Every structure is written in C-alpha cells, then in structure tokens.
C-alpha cells in the first residue's frame, strides 16, 4: 500500500461547479499536510497547508480527518484556470525525525467551459 494515495482522475467538471478531492495517508503519526497545485510541466506550487481545524482560502477549503486518515480539498465555483493536477503531501517528522514530504501521485482536474 502506498503511503499517500490519491484518485488520479481526471475529474471533469463544468465551470462554476464544486469539486472535492480526497487524499489518504497510511502513517497515523503524520502531522503536517499540504495541498500543492501542479500545472503541466511546471513545479508544484503550494496551495495551502492543512490544519487540524480545517482552513479556508477564498474558494478553497481544506479539511483533515485524523480518525479516517485523509485530507480533503474542496474547490467552489470552479474556474477554467483551476485546471491542473492537485498533489497532496504529508510529513511525519515527529515520528520519523525526517522533514521529507511524501507525495501522492496527484489528482487531475479539468474544468470545462
């Protein structure tokens, strides 16, 4: 089983739709969680950190569910410019002593006009 798993998609949604992605992680001691956005042939760009209480940034909302070991990303009112691959990344430094991020393989989102 992979340490971090994501549905590869693609998720094809119309403009204005709400879409949600989940990412599951296997190490229950993980405590740092992030969502990155990656455009084709570009670098991952940090979208948001995911806090225990959940956090929101404009149209984007991230949630953490420790009991079920997953994080989620909700995008409201999708724009064409949201089309990208969304990567989740996890770190368990308190458990492993390592700062390395473990990435999922990404979920591709295609927003259609």
Partner 1 sequence: EAGVTQFPSHSVIEKGQTVTLRCDPISGHDNLYWYRRVMGKEIKFLLHFVKESKQDESGMPNNRFLAERTGGTYSTLKVQPAELEDSGVYFCASSHYSGRSNEQFFGPGTRLTVL
Residues of the shown chain interacting with partner 1 in the complex, contacts defined by CB under 8 A: 4, 31-32, 34, 36, 42-46, 49, 87, 91, 93, 98-106
CB of 4 to partner 1, least distance (A): 8
Closer residue to partner 1 in complex, CB, 70/76: 70
What is d(CA 87, CA 3) in angstroms, rounded to the nearest whole number?
13
- Residue at token pair 């949201």: 82
CB of 102 to partner 1, least distance (A): 7
CB of 113 to partner 1, least distance (A): 29
Regarding beta strands 84-91 and 32-38, do their DSSP bridges make them parallel or antiparallel, or are they unpaired?
A: antiparallel
Closer residue to partner 1 in complex, CB, 22/76: 22
Distances in Å between the Cα of 67 and the Cα atoms of 28, 41, 56 are: 9, 35, 21
The token duo for 23 is: 């990412």
Report which DSSP code applies to 2: -
């Amino acid at each position: 089983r992979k340490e971090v798993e994501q549905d590869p998609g693609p998720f094809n949604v119309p403009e204005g739709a709400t879409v949600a992605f989940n990412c599951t992680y296997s190490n229950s001691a993980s405590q740092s969680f992030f969502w990155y956005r990656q455009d084709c042939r570009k670098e991952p760009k940090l979208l948001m950190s995911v806090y225990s209480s959940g956090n929101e940034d404009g149209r984007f909302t991230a949630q953490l569910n420790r009991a079920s070991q997953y994080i989620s990303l909700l995008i409201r009112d999708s724009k064409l410019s949201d089309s990208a691959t969304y990567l989740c990344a996890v770190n368990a430094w308190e458990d492993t002593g390592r700062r390395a991020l473990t990435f999922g393989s990404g979920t591709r989102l295609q927003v259609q006009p």
